[in-house]
A and B are shown apart, each in its own frame.
Chain A
Amino acid sequence: MDYLITLAILIAIYVILGASYNLVIGYGGLSTVAHPIFFAIGAYTTGLLSVNVPELPAVVNVLLGMVTAVVASVLLAGSALRVSGDYLLIASLGFQLGLLQLIKNLDFTGGPGGLSAIPSTILGAARGPAFLAITGAAAVACVFIIRAIVNGPYGRAISAMRDEELAFTALGRNAMSMKIAIFAIGCGMAGGAGGIYAYYFQYISPDQFEVLASATILTMVVLGGMGTPFGPVVGAILLLAIPQAITFLQLPPAIMAPTQGIIFTVLVLVFLYLRPAGILGNKARAI
């Protein structure tokens, strides 16, 4: 049971990551791979605050994690987009690698071994279900907030910007500030997911936020359907749940982990070939 609750919480966290990443790349058209680093920024900020400033309430810590992620994302997008849109892809990769290296080499972050002993906040038998309720509610809220953003007048402006940036700007819209805003909203949500993650798992390590994590989240978005409100939800559930299916085979760990990895990667490769627009996507929006 605990195992299923943990899996469900993990799925909810990845729904937040996938949905917010979809806002940035699918709707905003901004090429970035650094989404996990904002997840990391949120997780580390929240984790460090909860360890070092125990008097702060958990909610405040998670919010501060979000704020830090937003600030970092504005700095990155603000400097990279000034060069060009394509440059953001490379700059984001460098930002992610560099910041992870910094985390690995500092003492107060726990170094490569990770940050442990994050307080559990909620105690007792209800801990799992309570976290599931909070994370599930956050995931649903993120999906619907993003849906509201992209369906309203703001979303209309976002798609206009993606279609014809020059015409959009010449109609009196500031495309640059809009891109930065979209980037910041998406990265802020990822930071919030990081905060919840840190509290539930009570342990975070830099390896979880490497480039492989970028590929995982990106894959969830693409597989589910980029630029569709519920695509990332489908993607996150499928990619996390299917590899777990073989857990019941009771294989030794040395075989289990790579086998799950092979299932995951083969699934992705098959989809990339056969259905590049994703399960819920339409062909016109394939990347």
Chain B
Amino acid sequence: MTEILRVEGLQKRFGGIVVSDNIHLTIGAGEILGLIGPNGAGKTSLFNLISGVLRPDAGSIFLNGQKIDGAPLYKRARMGIARTWQNMLLFRTMTVLDNMLVGPRDYAGESVTRLAFGRAGVRAAEAAMRARAMGILGRMGLESTASSMVVDLPFGQQKLIGLARTLMNDGPLLLLDEPMAGVEGAAYETMQRVVRQEAASGRAVCVVEHNVSFIRDLCSRAVFMANGKILQDGTVEDLIASATLTELYFGV
């Protein structure tokens, strides 16, 4: 299995709180890694460190074997780190399709010079992007929402659109932050299917999720975090079977 992401000795503290304590982690192509742990364990912080929202105090991050420590958030997205957000952060004043069209890693149409000197090229690029966006929406059964304003849609659909927008970035790494929080019913199946398809296409996927059955259905491997540390790395079954972790997290 080809390694996509490697994290080495990642360290981050805010005042007295350590959110990442010597984190080592590797994710390979086609793998779906579950990231579980209690609230405040440092899961979202780890996503923020990997995607570049936060700067680590120490440690390194490698994407496809290449060190990306110095790259800011937007450059990492262009290198192919795509992520979703717990609270979606959709563009509120825009339609679903327009939200999607801001998603691609690199889009020639969004340039003032192209606006002035390459309108035909922009039209072609725009048409191609629209087709791709409609394709992704189609896979999720959301074509009919394309021209709706995102704020007018029910929560579950907004959640799916958050994922769909991120999928416009076709990079090698996909970070999903609590995709199932607040989602019920049909969206569950859709989310499972789409994430599996993405992994099958060769992407590395990492999912933070409290819904353990979602993780069990989806992931072969999972990591348990608490207090900024990785306590265990193994199969989901192993993690659930572990008495200490059960006590820490599942509160049984």
Contacts and interface: CB of A to CB of B under 8 A. Distances in A.
Q: Do chains A and B touch in the complex (CB under 8 A)?
A: yes
B91 A148 contact: no
A148 B119 CA distance: 11
Contact of A157 (B90, B102, B126, B168): B102
A164 interface: yes
A153 B91 contact: no
Interface stretch (A76-84, A119-127, A166-174, A252-260): A166-174
A279 interface: no
Given A170-B83, A171-B103, A173-B74, A152 B90 contact: no
Contacts, number: 87
B74 A159 contact: no
B110 A171 contact: no
B57 to A, nearest CB: 21
Contacts of B122: 152-153
Contacts of A63: none
A98 B98 CA distance: 42
Given A152-B109, A170-B83, A171-B165, A284 B93 contact: yes
Contacts of B152: none
B73 interface: yes
B101 A170 contact: no
Nearest to B88: A167
A283 B168 CA distance: 32
Query: Which residue, A154, A167, A168, has most C-beta atoms of chain B within 10 A?
Result: A167
A172 B51 CA distance: 11
A148 B89 CA distance: 27
B93 A169 contact: no
B115 A156 contact: no
Contacts of B91: 159-160, 163-164, 167-168
Given A159-B94, A170-B51, A170-B73, A181 B169 contact: no
Given A167-B89, A167-B91, A170-B73, A154 B53 contact: no
B8 interface: no
Interface residues of A, number: 25
Interface in B157-174: 165-166, 168-169
A169 B90 contact: no
Interface string B101-122: 1111111011110010000001
B19 to A, nearest CB: 18
A173 B77 CA distance: 8
A166 B53 contact: yes
A167 B90 contact: yes
B94 to A, nearest CB: 6
Interface of A: 148-149, 152-154, 156-157, 159-160, 162-164, 166-175, 181, 185, 284
3 closest residue pairs by CB, A with B: A153-B109, A172-B77, A167-B89
10 contacts: A152-B109, A157-B110, A159-B93, A166-B85, A167-B91, A171-B166, A171-B168, A173-B74, A174-B74, A175-B74
